Structure 1
């Protein structure tokens, strides 16, 4: 049995229940702009799933929580072993619960340009024993540079586990949210002599970063994110006389990042410890 359609007109729950009733064996492909993955069925039961770098139960919850995009089921004898042992009913209910939880957390963590710093040191055994392995892993990856999306990628447990853990740690006062991204207006940096290699930011921006954490004190590397989704790290210097919402960028770097005068870019500091 081959079925296909759009998840905007057919609920994913109805699709998997139909495959369960028909005791289907094969792969259910789910594809939208943000999520593309496969749910594997064996005799009507979900035996495995894969989405991006996530597999197994976590991947199944992600895919069963989709409400948009296209789906297509292929009848085929795959060689996937059964690593998921929950019923379709339980999987669908848990996927719905996780989707609701993520939506609630996203009212607090509303975008991915958020960076956290740990307020506890889990290298101390008496402190470490209070935390789960995932929480300790989270602390070790919070480097003052990685934003939410980068943390999701690094942790490797999917959006739900990462966001839920960060949210719980923040609620308990174990994490500090740092406001280091700056939205700055681009202006060319001009020089009468040799072509400069550094971007220029204001002294106030450097002071703001220093107040957020000593981790950012004296940084001379910044990361630039453009509206065209290009990003990269460049050397920076500080000058007192430029406006606080400006960044002066040499012409060569402007060409490299495909940015023009008066464009706006997101800029964050890269701590010395991250080099």
Structure 2
């Protein structure tokens, strides 16, 4: 059964329903701005799903929210891994519910670059009965350096779940937004004694971060993100009279595909990314 085309001309829900009614077995590949991944069908039922970041039901919810892009169904032997027990009808309904909920959540959290910090201690006895285990996990991660994407990665929760918990905690006034992001211009730095894995900011910028974060252990490294969402994590250092610049080597700039004067989103973070993982992010994911 050859089936491929543009999402939008035909709704993804309709495509899945067609595969379900015809009891097809194979993989439905989806490539859209909302999500890229695969839905696996056994005898017309969705049994597994994969996206770049998630698997199982969470991945299926993401894929069913696709409104544009392309799809292609490829007949294959039955998929051995079964992670989804819900019916197709229930998957589609839950995906639609989450999509509507995310629209409301985005009114509070418009961008995943937003950073929060806890204003309560989750260990307080007075809070124990008012917090779920997931809320406690999230509160313990809110050190004023993690943005929404960091929280998703470090908590092991889905983006939808993290957004839901953050809005709930924000409404309860247990957390607050934290202004730590800086928009700095790239300026190349060279020299015999310049470290390849270090970025330099102005001492005034460094001291501002230190005043807000109090503990310099939260400022070991700095996360640098381009306007096109490429990023790198480098050791953080500082120099006087740099101004609104951030300096690092031209070789790192080349990997990030930026030039002198480009504006970058910069923030300190409290953990290191191993060198080999950092290189893999730059070389494989962004090229």
TM-score (normalised: structure 2): 0.77
Per-residue displacement from partner, 1:180-235 (whole Å, max 9, x unpaired)?
Answer: 111123446699xx7555624152x3454345442469957533334572423233
User: Would the alpha carbon gap of residues 263 and 10 (structure 1) be closer, same or farther in structure 2, given more than 3 Å must change?
Assistant: same
Deviation at 1:146, TM superposition (A): 2.5
Distance in 1, Cα, partners of 2:77 & 2:218: 59
How far residue 18 of structure 1 moved from its aligned partner, in angstroms, is 1.2
> Aligned-pair distance for 1:127?
3.0
- Asked if 1:266 corresponds to 2:283, the answer is no
Alignment gaps of 5+ in structure 2? 273-287
Larger radius of gyration: 1
State whether structure 2 residue 223 is matched by structure 1 residue 256: no
The 1:155–1:217 alpha-carbon spacing in structure 2 relative to 1, beyond 3 Å, is closer
Q: CA deviation at 1:5?
A: 1.3
Distance 1:66 1:218 in 2: 38
Measured after TM superposition, the shift of residue 7 of structure 1 is: 0.8
* 1:94-173 equivalences in 2 (<5 Å): 94-124=94-124, 127-173=127-173
Contact 1:49 1:60 in 2 (8 A): yes
Tell me by how many angstroms 1:126 deviates. 5.5
CA contact 2:144–2:213 (8 Å) conserved in 1:
no
| Partner Cα separation in structure 2 for residue 189 and residue 60 of structure 1 | 45
What's the secondary structure of 1:146's corresponding residue?
Answer: strand
Does the C-alpha gap of structure 1 residues 200 and 5 become closer, same or farther in structure 2, counting only changes over 3 Å? Answer: closer
Post-superposition Cα deviations, 1:87-109, rounded to whole Å, max 9, x if no partner, equal: 32222122111112112222322
- Structure 1 partner of 2:63: 63
Query: How many positions carry a matched residue from both structures?
Result: 265
Q: After superposition, where does 1:70-85 map in structure 2 within 5 Å?
A: 70-80=70-80, 82-85=82-85
Q: Is the contact made by 1:178 and 1:212 (CA closer than 8 Å) also made in structure 2?
A: no
RMSD of aligned alpha carbons: 3.0
- Distance of aligned partners of 1:34 and 1:61 in 2 relative to their CA distance in 1, 3 Å threshold: closer
Q: Are the equivalent residues in 2 in contact too, given 1:26–1:77 (CA < 8 A)?
A: yes
